[in-house]
Amino acid sequence: MTARVLIVDDLLPNIKLLEARLSAEYFDVVSATNGPEALALCRDGRCDIVLLDVMMPGMDGFEVCTRLKSDPATMHLPVVMVTALDQPADRVRGLECGADDFLTKPVDELALIARVRSLTRLKIMLDELRARANTSANLGLSSRETNDGARGRILLVEDRPSSADRIVASMRDLHNIEIENHPQDALFRAAENNYELVIVSLNLTDFDALRLCSQLRSLERTRSVPILLLADVEDRPRILRGLDLGVNDYIVRPIDRNELIARVRTQLRRKRYADSLRDNVQAAIELAVVDALTGLNNRRFLETHLANALDQAAHKNRPLSLMILDIDHFKSVNDTYGHDAGDEVLKVFAQRIKRVLRGADLVCRLGGEEFVVVMPDTPLPVAARVAERVRAAVEGDKFPTDAAASRTIPVTTSIGLAERGDDANADALLRRADKALYASKAAGRNRVTAAAA
């Protein structure tokens, strides 16, 4: 996908210069000559990244950035401020407004392209997460955004003690920062701990810091952890290479404490926002296939899993049995003790049958008081022994219904069994097991019946 870059500058020659450089790299470019026009284009979804001049009449770049970052419709747009201002205080002010980076005029072409590509990749990733998280919003899950950037857990990879001590001293009151002075061990340490940011010195002794950054990006457990480079002014080519490798940000020595704090806070906020989106996506997936009351997989999951399991069993010519369980006289539990007691019985029932089933068996709540167990590589005689163990576990101890009153009730279950036939059809297998279940009920309940082959 071609990124759309918005250039905001009140001077047309500046716009044309940046437009020529970006167009040559196949970016789509739109432009605005003032703050209000830029805000309108951003709200209309006309861009993926904003290159924002600071010194503009009327509404300056700092105010434009503040408004973009405070509007839910535009707050996730990356903003790079393009400015002649090069003092740390100016960068800190921009970072506090929400800017992602600064480019100093005259703009370095390689730095421009590297930064635009890096931030565009980040935005595409966040856009995909937000799109997936919309499912959770539709299912009634709210976003659990932790976006204050406070008290992060940080790993500093620096083998020069004096530099490491200065960085730790500047941030120890704000964050939990740990030092790793052996670069060879940094990857393992990052993978084994839940760090929210890794700060890497670009000038490690006898070790290629960019290789470490590449390894952090290639490892599944550290792929989404932000990386902040500590660099010297003369490290420009390696900084640009780092951005191409997936480094999130950098700061140039001598390090200004306030700028370091601001850049760290920006990375922590973004990491926590991305994590909240991933959590919501995972919650939506679980909600779609998990029964909320019992924690078991639900009927939707069963339908997919059973069909796949039958296909595999047929392909390998292996047995597969299915068990349907029904809690005996469950309606009377609800009628006599109330629906809260009925819910408690369902939860305890699920726990008991899971406790005596084997690891390879899949247990699902079919609906109401009916449950299904899929038993791969299990012929009917073995399934019958497993089912009898389940039945005995349910009957063995009375079920609690009111902990405060120490009230318990007896519960039993009827079970029907069936083994896959030559047709390997999920619906046919369920029907045969269900028919065996009704035979158990007709014979007096609290028993196991196997369907005829």
CATH of the domain at 409: 3.30.70.270
pLDDT band at 145 (very low <50, low <70, confident <90, very high): very low
Residue 183 shares a structural domain with residue 307: no
User: Considering 283, 309, 333, which residue would you say is the last residue of a domain?
Assistant: 283
- For residues 240 and 246, give the distance between their C-alpha atoms in angstroms, rounded to a whole number: 10
Q: Is residue 131 situated within a structural domain?
A: no
Over range 126-138, report the average pLDDT. 65
Q: Is residue 112 situated within a structural domain?
A: no
pLDDT band at 423 (very low <50, low <70, confident <90, very high): low
Q: Is residue 74 situated within a structural domain?
A: yes
Q: Taking Cα atoms as reference points, which of 54, 409, 402, 121 lies closest to residue 270?
A: 121
User: Considering 283, 307, 327, which residue would you say is the last residue of a domain?
Assistant: 283
Q: Could you check whether the bond before residue 254 is cis, i.e. omega within 30 degrees of 0?
A: yes
Over range 9-15, report the average pLDDT. 94
Over range 140-155, report the average pLDDT. 67
- For residues 73 and 196, give the distance between their C-alpha atoms in angstroms, rounded to a whole number: 26
Q: Is residue 343 situated within a structural domain?
A: yes
What pLDDT shows up at residue 23? 94
Does pLDDT of 125 surpass 90?
no
Over range 433-448, report the average pLDDT. 96
Residue 347 shares a structural domain with residue 385: yes
Q: Write out pLDDT tens, residues 273-298.
A: 888 887 776 666 666 788 889 989 99
| Weakest mean pLDDT among 183-192, 193-202, 321-330, 396-405 | 396-405
What pLDDT shows up at residue 405? 58
What pLDDT shows up at residue 424? 67
Share of the chain above pLDDT 90, in %: 65
Residue 54 shares a structural domain with residue 91: yes
Does pLDDT of 139 surpass 50?
no
Does pLDDT of 143 surpass 50?
no
Dmax (CA) for the chain in angstroms is 91
Residue 399 shares a structural domain with residue 437: yes
**Alpha helix ranges (H) inside 175-316:** 183-192, 209-218, 236-245, 257-289, 299-316
Residue 9 shares a structural domain with residue 93: yes
User: Considering 249, 283, 317, which residue would you say is the last residue of a domain?
Assistant: 283
Domain count, the chain: 3
Q: Is residue 187 situated within a structural domain?
A: yes
Does pLDDT of 146 surpass 70?
no
Full DSSP string of 376-426: ET--HHHHHHHHHHHHHHHHHSPEEEETTTTEEE---EEEEEEE--TT--H
What pLDDT shows up at residue 2? 73
What pLDDT shows up at residue 80? 94
Does pLDDT of 149 surpass 90?
no
What 102-110 contacts at long range (C-beta under 8 Å, 24+ apart), as own/partner pairs, is 103/51, 107/17, 107/18, 107/21, 107/82, 108/236, 109/21, 110/240
What pLDDT shows up at residue 107? 87
Residue 201 shares a structural domain with residue 268: yes
Domain that holds residue 171: 144-283
Residue 179 shares a structural domain with residue 322: no
pLDDT band at 181 (very low <50, low <70, confident <90, very high): very high
Does pLDDT of 141 surpass 50?
no
The most confident of 144-148, 359-363, 421-425, by mean pLDDT: 359-363
Residue 279 shares a structural domain with residue 179: yes
Residue 383 shares a structural domain with residue 419: yes
Q: Is residue 241 situated within a structural domain?
A: yes
Active centre residues (catalytic):
369
Residue 317 shares a structural domain with residue 348: yes
Over range 430-435, report the average pLDDT. 94
pLDDT band at 140 (very low <50, low <70, confident <90, very high): very low
Residue carrying the six token digits 């006309």: 46
Q: Is residue 156 situated within a structural domain?
A: yes
- CATH number of the domain that 68 lies in? 3.40.50.2300
Residue 268 shares a structural domain with residue 309: no
Give the CA angle between residues 234, 237, 243 to the nearest 5°.
Answer: 120
Q: Is residue 133 situated within a structural domain?
A: no
Q: Would you say 64 and 8 are in contact if contact means Cβ atoms under 8 Å apart?
A: yes
Pull the structure tokens for residue 191: 């993978």
pTM of the model: 0.63
Does pLDDT of 327 surpass 80?
yes
Residue 351 shares a structural domain with residue 216: no
